[in-house]
Copies of this chain bind each other. A is one copy, B any other.
Amino acid sequence: MMEMENFKHFLVALCAAGAVGLVSIIFVLRWVLHYKEGLGWDGGLAEFNWHPVLIVTGFVFLQGMAIIVYRLPWTWRCSKLTMKFIHAGLNLLAFICAVISMVAVFDFHNAAKIPNMYSLHSWLGLIAVTLYCLQLVLGVGMYLIPITPVSWRAAFMPLHVYSGLLLFSSVIAVALMGITEKLIFGLSNPKYKDSPPEAIFVNVLGVLLVVFGALILWIATRASWKRPNDQILHSLHTNVGGEDNTKVGPAMSQLSDAADDEAFGDVRRRSNKPDDQAN
């Protein structure tokens, strides 16, 4: 399906994303367990520490994996419906992590009498979680409920993809603002500006999150790394009726072919070609 050379490039990018993502998780765990107060659920700083841990592991790493799950060539034999459930499931898990991580902060603030929702970080974070929830609900309504018309699915897809990548990027930006806040408020004697080891260590975590985001966005936006056309056609059959390809009548086949032409008739043609105007 994918050329060998192209597949190698994909594998390198995928392994890099996985490695940088996992190292980020190790970094955030070491931050709270080694430099900070550890983890707990007591309304104190140990409860607050769930906030960065759940954001990095859930809202950043799991969301990143959810975005590129359709790109894994060894899943192209699975039905599209299965992959949609995995995509939605990972995003749901990421959303749950984000919600719990916000509860941890509100609990901590309320116990310590610190105001809630005053910072730009908190504003943009709440907007991101709200829009992420909306994206999840609309995505399930559009692509997992069998009765949604194929024409709606096709028309909504560019917005779904754009919103998904924008939300992912925004979540990383909000995480970087959170790291900045925490290093300023959490470090005293030596302060952040005196660059103690914790400051350097967590700055590196911030850089890792940006590299992880850049790799996920690269993988997600390469046209030649997309799930191929013929399997899309197949899965359109199986998803609309939940039936095997061979059982689909001629009318259904025509519907699928028409939808295929309309929405992604040029995917195969486009494969392995630069995706912008190159002069």
Interface string of A98-131 (1 = CB under 8 A from B): 0000000000000000110011110110010000
**Residue among A161, A222, A226, A279 facing the most chain B CB atoms (10 A cut-off):** A279
From B157, B184, B194, B210, contact of A278 by CB (8 A): B157
The CA of A106 and the CA of B32, in the complex, are separated in Å by: 32
A206 touches B236 (CB 8 A): no
Interface string of A206-234 (1 = CB under 8 A from B): 11001000100110011000110000100
Of all chain B residues, the one with the shortest Cβ separation from A174 is B176
- CB contacts under 8 Å to B, within A171-207, are 172-173, 176-177, 179-181, 183-185, 192-195, 199, 202-203, 206-207
Whether A249 sits at the interface, judged by CB under 8 Å, is: no
Take A176-B177, A239-B279, A279-B153 as given contacts and tell me if A123 and B264 are in contact as well, using a CB distance cutoff of 8 Å.
no
| Binding stretch for chain B, among A16-24, A53-61, A89-97, A269-277 | A269-277
Residues of B within 8 A of A162 (CB): 217-218, 221
B120 touches A183 (CB 8 A): yes
The CA of A224 and the CA of B70, in the complex, are separated in Å by: 24
Residue tally, chain A, CB below 8 Å to B: 73
Of all chain B residues, the one with the shortest Cβ separation from A264 is B277
Of all chain B residues, the one with the shortest Cβ separation from A169 is B169
The CA of A157 and the CA of B183, in the complex, are separated in Å by: 39
Whether A267 sits at the interface, judged by CB under 8 Å, is: yes
- CB contacts under 8 Å to B, within A216-267, are 217-218, 221-222, 226-227, 232, 235-236, 239, 259-260, 262-267
| Chain A contact residues, CB within 8 Å of chain B | 70, 80, 114-115, 118-121, 123-124, 127, 143, 150, 153-158, 160-162, 166, 169-170, 172-173, 176-177, 179-181, 183-185, 192-195, 199, 202-203, 206-207, 210, 214, 217-218, 221-222, 226-227, 232, 235-236, 239, 259-260, 262-267, 269-270, 273-279
What 3 pairs across the A-B complex have the smallest Cβ distances? A154-B278, A173-B173, A263-B278
Can you name 7 A-B residue pairings with CB atoms under 8 Å? Answer: A70-B277, A115-B194, A155-B274, A160-B276, A169-B173, A181-B184, A226-B277
